[in-house]
Structure 1
């Protein structure tokens, strides 16, 4: 059974309920996954369960699993860090560092998506610290059955400014 955000537990019935955090990669959330998890039993042996992770599952979702010994396990999902993206809902945010030249004259680069696409990004305008480039429909899938909607990839930029004012003057004079 899968519940999003809050689990409902009958108050009148005494149950053994354990909450266990489970850490998922963005790829597991993007495609959906089947996780094999060992849970300790009361007799100190391990019980392996198969936990289905649906695609697009929001962070802090609760997945409820009833064990044969009468216990209920609530798995609380958390995202593991990714080397390129941070998740915000269905959107994936990536930060790129650009030089002053790239800031003023534009830049081209490749964005690698979670579904192994390579998207060529060409920015021809001036990049400011608040500038965001949005690539529509390339983020996380929606968490609904039979839904093809996806979030966006949002590119934000950090501008690397040299500390030496002479270097900045040379760059400006080159233009």
Structure 2
């Protein structure tokens, strides 16, 4: 007969522990992830777009006003704005080169290389734009015009052959454009296998005008007058850019550096409709090359010593 009363007790740490089930482990992991997510979101800035459509600046970049705040330790929100009160962003479309561009008549094939996210390579490279000059007269840039330009470009057919194709491009020159203004036709360059077609960019250049010069939105005009008119005043016909003339009456003495401003007869401004710059009229005084003794004596008698 076994004596159970004198048997030594088994230590607790030697006893086999009951294991956790898979369901309990999953529940613990979910609870841990939830607490971690709540703790990290309390310190992370939150960006809330304001109501309204995005604006665009001069270069076509989209601008949207964004309010931001962070949660403080006491649960309150502190506003966070940039110095100008808004942040700029470019749409995702601007981050990658366009895959499709304006296609010419006739079936052509395009490289089928999609950009790879989170990679330094987009798969297909786009060459730099091809720049061409477009010369315009001051009259064209003042009143606007339409320029038709023929170009030749290589295109790749579906069979992989390279053929030359002629294109007619149309540019609507707007009143007030300045030299350096750029007009871009996307994908209108030569097509090359495994490359995007380059863009074609036209840069406005001003043709030299025989009479007028340009300074921003203002026009400049220089007129020669004889000395006698500069001293006694005169009425002068002034040509305008459109071919008209206006009468300019001057009662003051025209001295070297004298300038007359005619408001509203300059170039149109692109910022305000129906607004134009000024016409600056400068004078070139023609002095006589010689005087007789009597003329010199008369000049001294009339004018006297200018230094006194």
Q: Normalising by structure 2, what TM-score?
A: 0.49
Moved over 6 A (4+): 8-12
1:63 and 2:183 are equivalent in the alignment: yes
Given candidates 172, 175, 188, the residue that maps to 1:52 is 172
Other-structure match for 1:34: 146
Unpaired runs of 5+ residues, structure 1, are none
Select the structure of larger CA radius of gyration.
2
Structure with the higher fraction of residues in strand conformation:
1
CA positional deviation for 1:64: 1.3
Quickly say closer, same or farther: Cα 1:63–1:103, change in 2 above 3 A.
Answer: same
Other-structure match for 1:82: 209
CA positional deviation for 1:116: 4.0
CA contact (8 A) 1:101 1:171 kept: no
Kindly report the root-mean-square deviation, in angstroms, between the aligned alpha carbons of the 2 structures. 2.8
Aligned residue runs from structure 1 range 13-162, under 5 A: 14-42=126-154, 43-68=163-188, 70-144=197-271, 147-162=273-288
CA contact (8 A) 1:136 1:151 kept: yes
Given candidates 280, 290, 302, the residue that maps to 1:164 is 290
CA positional deviation for 1:17: 1.3
SS at match of 2:199: strand
Q: Normalising by structure 1, what TM-score?
A: 0.82
Unpaired runs of 5+ residues, structure 2, are 1-57, 60-93, 98-121, 155-162, 190-196, 303-308
SS at match of 2:238: strand
- Alignment length (residue pairs): 169
Quickly say closer, same or farther: Cα 1:147–1:132, change in 2 above 3 A.
Answer: same
Distance 2:134 2:148 in 1: 11
CA positional deviation for 1:129: 1.7
Distance 2:221 2:298 in 1: 27
